[in-house]
Chain A
Amino acid sequence: MATTTVAPLSADIELSPLPQADGSCQYACPTSRTTVLTAVNGPIEVRAKDEQPSNATVEVIVKPGIGVGGVRETRLAGILQKTLAPLILTAHHPRTLIQITAQVLQCEDHTSIPLLLAPLLNCAIFSLLLAGVPLRTTAWAVHLVIPSKPPQPVADAEAMQTDATNVANGTIRNPNKALLAQAKSSHTLAFSKEGEMLLIESIDCSEGSGGVSADGQGWNIEEWFGVMDEAQRVCCEDGVRITRETLAGKKMF
């Protein structure tokens, strides 16, 4: 596979946009236009039924941009809770609540869980850091898609913006709507700074046929390993770099 020079990952991050929250962050992905806002409050008083005698309770609430939260938001919140809770040193604040609230402001496709998951996770990590919640390590998540073959030229000139810049090892990073529409499968992976895999959320994007099959739908294991290697590289190189650069002005570390 031809190795193209990949432009380094970038993100528009605004730290502490909400003065009332203990920590908050607004994260916009420049290629996919997805914008999310997260706020962290904690440690605060916990409801008696959620209280844990030797750990802090981690609560995640995800609110959609349009409509009231449904199954999808609960699912997103569940994934985020399970990913973030092990990163937080909950034993430091027993019998308290660490509350993470996420608001999706705008996104390319509000039905795609992998697409929303990556910005939400990255944004939540920044908010946790700003709130001064003790973390075991930092993490980064990236959304990658495998385009269907052969990649069809995108009709919309605006949609082509990313063509060479975020394609590597046969995957497209943080795709926009036009690129997502022709994806074969969609994956969000999160890695800690040390390269530990924290999260895999992969779905098949082909409509109707579903699953792995010979007709080019779904994904095979080689493709998936390609995705994993690329995600690990992005998270451990670009992700760590962005985290450092963003927080450099904050004099936190």
Chain B
Amino acid sequence: MPKDPEISLTEKTFVLEALKQNLRIDGRDLHSSRDVQLTFGDDYGFVDVRLGKTRVLARISAEVTKPRADRPFEGLFTISTEMGPMASPVFEAGRPTDLDHTLSRTLEKSIRRSQALDTESLCLVTAQRVWSIRADVHFLTHDGNLLDAACIALVTALAHFRLPVVSVSGEDITIHSPEERVPVPLSLLHWPLCVSFSFFGDDDAGEMIFLVDATAQEEALRSGDMSVTVNKNGEICQMAKSGGVAVEAEVLLRCARMAAEKAKVLDKMITEALRDDELRRNKGNLDWLKESRAENDR
């Protein structure tokens, strides 16, 4: 099957030498990210994220199922990430690559294991009926930093999604259509956002450079990488540096601090995008501010 086109020696030297002079091929600052563009679909929970040329789509769906026997009070939440040849011909359908595994694992740790979605709020009838929330992440174009884009897409889609209202009487449940009762947002406890770093050069020589939001070209040339998932309160949910070049602890601290700043900016950007979309959907309807909520004010 097709391989990634190998980067020529000339190109490699050019990119690395430029980085030593703090220059990036696309003219960005070493520590600045590409602009994030969020587009919402007609349905709730459908988000299209563009990060430069990288494009990731997330879609949330919900259905009522039986809970797991050992967790009778908890709803189900699954994240499905599947890469196909659409993102790049290198990815074969039905044969996951290493990148595929790393991505789904990191997203799982960042969002599911950090308890971003309160699964207990998805319980309808104990041990019998719960909501099962499914998040499908589709990778459309791969130009580096799929992880950050996927994380933004997932969090935005979860915050955008609306769950139908259910009324329970005894063991019977009624799912109300959106026309009957206004659907409610999911109970999200926090928004974990992922920021990835790419390392270049040797630490021993004191020439370690780290980049934020690397493109596919930079990813192919980097000597190490790390991802930090952090929410707007600066709480680290996940941190992964699997192999690669050895990095001094001080650099990691700088990375973590930078990630917290970036997450704050992203958080604000997502909030604004969601608000704009809500205003666009509810033109002339001022009741949306009073929309019922599943979560408590904290």
Q: Which residues of A contact B (CB under 8 A)?
A: 17-21, 33, 35, 37, 39, 41, 44-45, 47, 61, 63, 65-68, 99, 101, 103, 105-106
Whether B140 lies near A66 (C-beta < 8 A) is no
B43 within 8 Å of A (CB atoms): yes
Taking A20-B89, A105-B57 as given, write out 8 further A-B residue pairs in contact, using a Cβ cutoff of 8 Å, ordered by the A residue number: A37-B86, A39-B85, A41-B2, A41-B89, A65-B59, A65-B136, A103-B57, A106-B46
Whether B141 lies near A20 (C-beta < 8 A) is yes
Whether B86 lies near A39 (C-beta < 8 A) is yes
Whether B86 lies near A101 (C-beta < 8 A) is yes
Whether A19 lies near B141 (C-beta < 8 A) is yes
5 shortest A-B CB distances, which residue pairs? A101-B86, A41-B89, A39-B86, A66-B61, A18-B141
Complex CA–CA separation, A106 to B84 (angstroms): 18
Whether B85 lies near A99 (C-beta < 8 A) is yes
Q: Which residues of A contact B82 (CB under 8 A)?
A: 63, 68
Q: Which residue in B42, B134, B140, B142 is a CB contact (below 8 Å) of A103?
A: B140
Whether A45 lies near B84 (C-beta < 8 A) is no
Whether A19 lies near B53 (C-beta < 8 A) is yes
Whether B138 lies near A63 (C-beta < 8 A) is yes
Complex CA–CA separation, A90 to B84 (angstroms): 23
Q: In chain B between 39 and 85, which residues have their CB closer than 8 angstroms to a CB of chain A?
A: 41-43, 46, 53, 55, 57, 59, 61, 80, 82, 84-85
Q: Which residues of A contact B85 (CB under 8 A)?
A: 39, 41, 61, 99, 101
Whether B42 lies near A33 (C-beta < 8 A) is yes
Tell me, rounded to whole Å, the shortest Cβ–Cβ distance linking A18 to chain B: 5
B93 within 8 Å of A (CB atoms): yes
Complex CA–CA separation, A103 to B141 (angstroms): 12
Tell me, rounded to whole Å, the shortest Cβ–Cβ distance linking B79 to chain A: 13
Complex CA–CA separation, A106 to B69 (angstroms): 34
Q: Which residues of B contact A39 (CB under 8 A)?
A: 85-86
Which residue of B2, B42, B140 has the most chain A CB atoms within 10 A of its CB atom? B140
Q: Which residues of A contact B86 (CB under 8 A)?
A: 18, 21, 37, 39, 63, 101, 103
Complex CA–CA separation, A35 to B142 (angstroms): 21
B118 within 8 Å of A (CB atoms): no
B286 within 8 Å of A (CB atoms): no
Q: Which residues of A contact B136 (CB under 8 A)?
A: 65-67
Whether B41 lies near A105 (C-beta < 8 A) is yes
B1 within 8 Å of A (CB atoms): yes
12 A-B residue pairs with Cβ-Cβ distance under 8 Å, sorted by A, are A20-B87, A20-B141, A21-B141, A33-B42, A37-B140, A61-B93, A63-B84, A66-B136, A68-B80, A99-B89, A103-B84, A103-B140
The answer to whether residues A61 and B84 also contact, given A44-B89, A66-B59 and a CB cut-off of 8 A, is: yes
Q: Which residues of B contact A17 (CB under 8 A)?
A: 55
Q: In chain B between 131 and 170, which residues have their CB closer than 8 angstroms to a CB of chain A?
A: 134, 136, 138, 140-143
B121 within 8 Å of A (CB atoms): no
B88 within 8 Å of A (CB atoms): yes
Whether A44 lies near B2 (C-beta < 8 A) is yes
Complex CA–CA separation, A18 to B57 (angstroms): 13
Complex CA–CA separation, A67 to B133 (angstroms): 11
Q: In chain B between 221 and 255, which residues have their CB closer than 8 angstroms to a CB of chain A?
A: none
The answer to whether residues A101 and B61 also contact, given A20-B142, A67-B136 and a CB cut-off of 8 A, is: no
Chain A's closest residue to B43 (CB) is: A106
Tell me, rounded to whole Å, the shortest Cβ–Cβ distance linking B187 to chain A: 21
